[in-house]
Amino acid sequence: MQITLVKRWAWGCLLAVIATTAVAIEPFIVDDIQVQGLNRISPGTVFNYLTITVGDTVDDQKSRNALRALFKTGFFRDVRLERNGDVLVVVVEERESIADITFEGNKAIKTDNLLEGLGDVGFAKGDVFNEAKLDKVKQELRRQYYAHGKYGVRIDSDVEQVDQTSVSVHFKISEGVAARIKEINIVGNEVYSDEEIVSSFDLTTPTWLSWITKDDQYSKQKLQGDLERLRSMYVDNGYIYFNVDSTQVSITPDKSDVYLTVNITEGDRFTISEVKLSGKLIVEPEVLFDWVITRKGMVFSSKEMAQTSKFLTERLGNEGYAFANVNPIPKANDEDKTVAITYFVDPGQRVYVRRVSFVGNSKTRDEVLRREMRQLEGGWISTSAVERSKIRLKRLGFFEDVNVETPAVAGSTDQVDVKFSVKERPSGNFLLGFGFSQQQGLIFNTNITQNNFLGSGKSVSFAFNNSEINQIFRLGYVNPYWTLDGVSRGFNISYQKTESGSNSNTTEFESEILSGGVSLGVPISEYNTIGLSLDYESTSIDAPLFFLDPRIGNFILREGNEYNLIRPSVSYAFDTRNSGVFPTRGTLQRVRVEAAVPGGDLKFWKVDYDSRVFIPLIREYVLLLKGRVGYGDAYGDTSELPFFENFYAGGPRTVRGFEENSLGPEDIFGRALGGDTLVVGNAELIIPVPFLDEFKSVRLTGFLDAGNVFATNQKFSFSDLRTSVGLSGVWLSPFGLLSVSIAEPFNDKLGDEVQKFQFTFGTSF
């Protein structure tokens, strides 16, 4: 009441001043208008709001109207109208502008977000300062804090004169403690229990993780999201008349606890009685129905209805109808509790691609990007072909980000351009440094790689690695488009010296391998590739006399210790992954068969099958299922698979929780000998990394590993598989790969080398 009386008194005084000023001017015809007192505001602004123009006759009423209009702008602290002959003189006193806005004490809300909220109510740097706005501004700040559950917030303001024309405004904020949810009550639910409903909410009562997740702090935005999730929970299960009747948010007097009550009406459950297609059906109805996932007799789901609409739109987009609309129209029958769904198809015009262009590839040649295109110029647009082209660009590894737009061609109703925007990453890599792994000890690394040599897409690499176990020199070259059809060709030369023994948990021997070879990759379809390679190897074995296992000694006596091998191989890969590094969906199935063939000193063959399936779950969780099976044997006059070709298991890349290469058959000294059969399976749940959603170089997983190695004379048994469960993390740092795992082995046997904590750094990925 007092505020209202004060406002009326203020307006009365203002009108009295206006009336007095207006009376002081005798009526006259305005020959010219002058403005005095302006510093920051332009005369044009005054003339724009002034209700008097040259040629008008000024009287008391027009004077009052003019003053009222100028005061109403809020730009001026005082306005007077004076007469100098036939010239109307407008004398103004400007209000100060806001030179700066600062905050003190804000932690829960960033300064930029606070400033954005104030800008929405007309209080920003450069705006005219008006004391009357301060209350409104403080209310806006409180609103932002209330939305974050901080009901005890206190806000004080201080206005400081900077100069004659500007002021700075400083807000001192005492945020207080965020109100925590004490209780969530659901009223009117019968189908789902309170626990089932609340478990789907982001908001919850305090748990032992709430101090990290903050999920027990009330937020209006989170509540709205939870209510929408609750609605979807019911409507997607047939309750089409579900309704949130009301929500009550009660706050305790000390503003520390919040009680939430949600009142709902569930309604009846509806099933689908009929599904029809109508409109202009460009594609045969039988074909379109293959994309319909809502069927007669199923429980009605708005989510599946919307998904069907999306599928049908994408199917029409593959035929060139990029702007097709498929509108689902549900019709409920309240008597028998059924819904008839009609999908109305409006394909629009078929759209053609005028031009495919690329932006951002300053180093990579256009032809390198263009050869990955599945959407061609001149043909009708296909949404799946455009998306596949985008994925193929991502899989090149040359770009940090790839985006695509399809703007319409000006002046045409049936043409679009396809524009890919890429952000290049450095494709050259020079690595000189040190690493360490629990298995190989200290590693010296020199690696020079140019994956996009001179922007041609070709790869040239040189590597030198030195550790306590391995010394590796490698030179490689790959042309991914040796032919226009995408057949790749590569060459490689390498030298590797390995000192197996106590440092590697394996039987003791030394090997030197000099090799060179050529490889081809032949794509037979969009997702299928056949690989062919031919390598020549010169292998030399040096084994200690006193620490030699008899099985190795017998092999060396029969076959010697120096071998020249000719090794052809063939592989087949089916790969639908959406990324080459850290994929989140898709499948990789790969099988490789290699052999040492006649013409060399040994004859043997090996087959290796690798399977990886990425299954997206909810809220960015991904299930990864991996399996690997390997087997090898000798043929001809070679009696057995060479011991240096054996499979090994255990460690970060196979079965975590056991020392690397330690599983399987052992020599007479208790060291791993390896075997001719490998069986490994992994199930991993990829978990979103808290607080690092935008950091794409980190992956956190919970895993279950199982596997072992078996010898020829050893019968396979699932009970012999070693298993472990734990957590792992991988970081692709600028200095190399860092992988860490903590595992708890079970089903381990006496004599197994258990290693619960494992890490590697600086080794290859």
pLDDT in tens, 711-743: 887 878 888 899 999 999 888 765 556 788 999
Question: Are 273-346 and 352-424 the same fold in CATH?
Answer: yes
Mean pLDDT of 667-681: 89
- Residue 150 pLDDT class (50, 70, 90 cuts): confident
- Residue 19: pLDDT over 50: no
Q: What phi, psi does 739 have (nearest 5°)?
A: -125, 135
In words, the CATH class of domain 428-763 is mainly beta
For the ranges 411-415, 420-424, 468-472, 520-524, the lowest mean pLDDT is seen at 468-472
CB-based contact 450:428 (threshold 8 Å)? yes
Q: What is the CATH number of domain 2-94?
A: 3.10.20.310
Residue (of 63, 59, 76) closest to 18 by Cα position: 63
Given this model, what pLDDT does residue 440 score? 47
User: Of the CATH numbers 3.10.20.310, 3.30.160.270, 3.30.420.40, 3.40.718.10, which one belongs to the domain with range 180-265?
Assistant: 3.10.20.310
- Residue 192 pLDDT class (50, 70, 90 cuts): very high
Given this model, what pLDDT does residue 696 score? 65
- Residue 435 pLDDT class (50, 70, 90 cuts): very low
- Residue 5: pLDDT over 70: no
- Residue 20: pLDDT over 50: no
- Write down how long the chain is: 765
Given this model, what pLDDT does residue 430 score? 45
Q: What is the rounded CA–CA span in Å between residue 621 and residue 13? A: 66
- Residue 402: pLDDT over 70: yes
CB-based contact 695:703 (threshold 8 Å)? no
Given this model, what pLDDT does residue 446 score? 59
- Residue 702 pLDDT class (50, 70, 90 cuts): very high
Hey, what are 640's tokens? 């057995």
- Residue 764: pLDDT over 80: no
424 versus 504: which is more confidently predicted? 424
Indicate the average pLDDT of the chain.
84
- Residue 8: pLDDT over 60: no
In words, the CATH class of domain 352-424 is alpha beta
43 versus 274: which is more confidently predicted? 274
399 versus 621: which is more confidently predicted? 621
- Residue 14: pLDDT over 50: no
Mean pLDDT of 526-546: 89
Mean pLDDT of 551-562: 88
- Residue 6 pLDDT class (50, 70, 90 cuts): very low
For the ranges 333-342, 430-439, 531-540, 554-563, the lowest mean pLDDT is seen at 430-439
Ordered by start, the domain boundaries in the chain are 2-94, 97-174, 180-265, 273-346, 352-424, 428-763
- Residue 487 pLDDT class (50, 70, 90 cuts): very high
CB-based contact 593:605 (threshold 8 Å)? yes
Cα 666 to Cα 552, 661, 672, 673, 718, distances in angstroms: 12, 11, 4, 5, 19
Given this model, what pLDDT does residue 718 score? 85
- Residue 431: pLDDT over 90: no
Q: What is the rounded CA–CA span in Å between residue 224 and residue 221? A: 5
- Residue 503 pLDDT class (50, 70, 90 cuts): low
259-280: pLDDT as tens digits: 999 999 999 999 999 999 999 8
Task: Give all strands of the β-sheet with 257-265 in edge-to-edge order.
Answer: 180-187, 257-265, 243-251
- Residue 13 pLDDT class (50, 70, 90 cuts): very low
Residue (of 588, 754, 571) closest to 663 by Cα position: 754
- Residue 461: pLDDT over 90: no
Q: Over pLDDT 90: what percentage of the chain?
A: 39
pTM of the model: 0.67
Mean pLDDT of 397-406: 85
The CATH number of domain 97-174 is 3.10.20.310? yes
- Residue 629: pLDDT over 60: yes
**SS3 per residue for 588-616:** EEEEEEEEECECECCCEEEEEEEEEEEEE
Given this model, what pLDDT does residue 501 score? 61
Q: What is the rounded CA–CA span in Å between residue 350 and residue 414? A: 6
Mean pLDDT of 27-35: 86
Sign of the alpha-carbon dihedral angle for 67, 72, 73, 75: positive
User: Of the CATH numbers 3.10.20.310, 2.40.50.140, 3.40.80.10, 3.40.930.10, which one belongs to the domain with range 273-346?
Assistant: 3.10.20.310
For the ranges 104-108, 128-132, 446-450, the lowest mean pLDDT is seen at 446-450
